[in-house]
Amino acid sequence: MLPDTEPLQQPKSRRIDALDLARGLALIAMAIYHFTWDLGFFGYTEPSLTAFGGWKLFARCIASSFLFLVGVSLFLAHGNGIRWKGFWRRFAMVAGAALAISVITYFAVPDDLIFFGILHQIALASLLGLLFLRLPTLLTLIVAVAVIAAPNFLRTPFFDHPAWWWVGLSSVNPRSNDYVPLFPWFGAVLLGIVAARLATSSGLFARLAGFSLGSWSKPLTFAGRHSLAFYLIHQPVLIACVWLFSQVMPADIPTKEVQFRTSCERTCQDTRDAEFCTRYCACMLDTLEKDTLDALFAGKQTQELRDKVNDSAGYCTADTENTSP
């Protein structure tokens, strides 16, 4: 799992390099995504570029791959009996790192506080995953599908209180730079457990353990073996590099109005044509008051603010449809 430096249980003599390679590739993909996010944060790319379209799908694939590997590693390490000493040591490392990230972001970027990100999810999923190590494969698969599907059917205002945001069933997702709640993401961990059980019973892991990768893979497998360290270090290093570059060649930061319109049109074009979105977003910008726009950029989640935005969206949708040629 991420992190996972503990020797895998199957087979006893050596690690499975292919899993370390997969973990290393996922880390590189994560670094690419974070670097692109950093460029947007400093104004070198379009606002919110990584929050839409292919970049959004890319981010979800990265998170899914990490959590899938958490399930695989959890089964390999503890499927034949939970090794409590090693488990609690690993859990303390991940939970401690998650807490540190929450504390740092609380002071550094309070409007985008990471209160339940990927490490928080891994810590909780590692605990909950133990319950499924001995359950029938089919039952685990059914629960995995149910967990993944739950946000599409079970969202309710009951979970809108911040104390329940970690569950992932609130009517509106809270703002955060890294939000990976229990639903639907725990489903990926369960799928990893299912896949590991099937791979073990079919002898796939035994065959992979005997497969030696070339020297080209050493940087990736090294990163995979030290994934927690890579995760904690890479983003500060990337941000520092972009910050240093910005001191020499600063980006032209667009106004809030330009950022809002760009983000609005990008989101709108997921369901409507470009001409409609151009007119609709211009209407939204005209109807939203400056204090409302400032509140949106501050990340406020009040019901009053949501009502204002919904009222403007309803008016602009009707107006744009009525005036379209």
Q: List, for residues 153-167, the tens digit of each pLDDT value.
A: 999 999 999 999 999
Predicted local confidence at residue 4, as pLDDT = 44
Residue 319 clears pLDDT 90, i.e. is over it? no
**25-50 residues labelled b (16+ CB within 10 A) or e (exposed):** bbbebbbebbebbbbbbbebbbbbbb
Can you spell out the DSSP letters for 16-78? -HHHHHHHHHHHHHHHHHHHHHHHHHTTSS-TTGGGSHHHHHHHHHHHHHHHHHHHHHHHHHH
Predicted local confidence at residue 131, as pLDDT = 96
Predicted local confidence at residue 161, as pLDDT = 93
Predicted local confidence at residue 239, as pLDDT = 95
Residue 160's φ and ψ, nearest 5 degrees, are -75, -15
Residue 12 clears pLDDT 90, i.e. is over it? no
Percent of the chain surpassing pLDDT 70: 94
Predicted local confidence at residue 267, as pLDDT = 81
Predicted local confidence at residue 5, as pLDDT = 37
Kindly give, in sequence order, each residue whose CB lies less than 8 Å from that of residue 286, ignoring residues fewer than 6 positions away. none
Predicted local confidence at residue 115, as pLDDT = 96
**How do residues 205-233 score in pLDDT, each as one tens digit?**
989 888 888 889 999 999 999 999 999 99
Predicted local confidence at residue 325, as pLDDT = 62
Predicted local confidence at residue 62, as pLDDT = 97
3-state secondary structure of 116: strand
| Alpha-carbon span 270 to 258, nearest angstrom | 19
Percent of the chain surpassing pLDDT 90: 61
Predicted local confidence at residue 9, as pLDDT = 41
The residue ranking higher by pLDDT, 239 or 269, is 239
Predicted local confidence at residue 253, as pLDDT = 78
Predicted local confidence at residue 272, as pLDDT = 83
Is 0.85 surpassed by the pTM of this model? no
Which token pair is 11?
């087979």
**How do residues 29-72 score in pLDDT, each as one tens digit?**
999 999 999 998 898 987 678 887 899 999 999 999 999 999 99
Kindly give, in sequence order, each residue whose CB lies less than 8 Å from that of residue 297, ignoring residues fewer than 6 positions away. 256, 259, 260
**How do residues 75-132 score in pLDDT, each as one tens digit?**
999 999 999 999 999 999 999 999 999 999 999 888 789 999 999 999 999 999 999 9
Predicted local confidence at residue 139, as pLDDT = 97
3-state secondary structure of 191: helix
State the CB neighbour count (10 A cutoff) for residue 93: 15
The residue ranking higher by pLDDT, 311 or 137, is 137
Q: What is the mean pLDDT of residues 263-270?
A: 82
Predicted local confidence at residue 7, as pLDDT = 38
Residue 13 clears pLDDT 60, i.e. is over it? no
Mean of pLDDT over the chain: 89
Residue 10 clears pLDDT 50, i.e. is over it? no
Residue 174 clears pLDDT 80, i.e. is over it? yes
Q: Is residue 97 within a helix (H) or strand (E), and if so which, with residue range?
A: helix 84-108
